[in-house]
Amino acid sequence: MTTEVLVNDFAIRSFRDQGDADYIAARMACRAALVTPFLWQSQQTVEKYLKCILLLNRIEARNVRHDLETAVAAIEQSGKIVIDLTQRTKEFIRHLDDIGRFRYLEISHYAFGAQLVYLDRAAWELRRYCTLSELPRQSKLVNGQRAPRVRIIGGHIEKILDAPNDPARGPLVWQNAFLGSRQRRFIKLRGWMKSSNAPLYLHPEILDEVLKYVYLPKDIVNAYRAHRRP
């Protein structure tokens, strides 16, 4: 196989397939009302789909790291591919950028059950571009209509949907109006909402002591230093 083919295989297996796994894990966490795992796995889902798009289109993005909006901007500015995202998906990506990347309650966070729909929509919209085929991206969302069924040849999610006994199939199709096994007009979600104040938000005076032992991102450190000032 050529280097071109092998790099594409890397993009699909390391980013799209792993993103599919993170997506199902995020759905499971949301169903269980586990805020931090849901936000983190959602962030990882979107990050991996975006990185797959970047690599398949050979868009240099070594400095993207975990910044989702930077990844989106790199795609949009490349001139190589145009991604069509709804405003709701853009807002969800921004929300994940703000709080989804924090796994240790470094900042205060919140989530609610209906965000599962936001995740499903974002996964549906982004995943269309995680392939070299033009066919999946021709499907569009239309207000008031069911999401079209989009299948990616050889996709990890498609393999799960086609395997009735796969243990991941149930968590994937549960109340899924976008990437499930059938088109749904209505879904029923558990109406939960949870929020937590971060320990450092409540007690910023311990920041310097904490920094003796653990790493915190520079932007978070600066924010808490400002928060601590009288």
Bridge partners of 110, per DSSP, are 195
Predicted confidence at residue 14, as pLDDT, reads 97
Residue 211, helix vs strand vs coil = helix
Predicted confidence at residue 186, as pLDDT, reads 77
How far apart (Å, rounded) are the C-alpha atoms in residues 45 and 220? 23
Listed as ranges, residues in the chain with pLDDT below 50 are none
Predicted confidence at residue 143, as pLDDT, reads 84
What is the per-residue pLDDT across 108-130, written as a single tens digit (0 to 9) for each?
A: 999 999 999 999 999 999 999 99
Predicted confidence at residue 51, as pLDDT, reads 97
Q: Give Cα separations from 41 to 25, 35, 145, 229 (angstroms).
A: 7, 10, 28, 34
How far apart (Å, rounded) are the C-alpha atoms in residues 99 and 80? 30
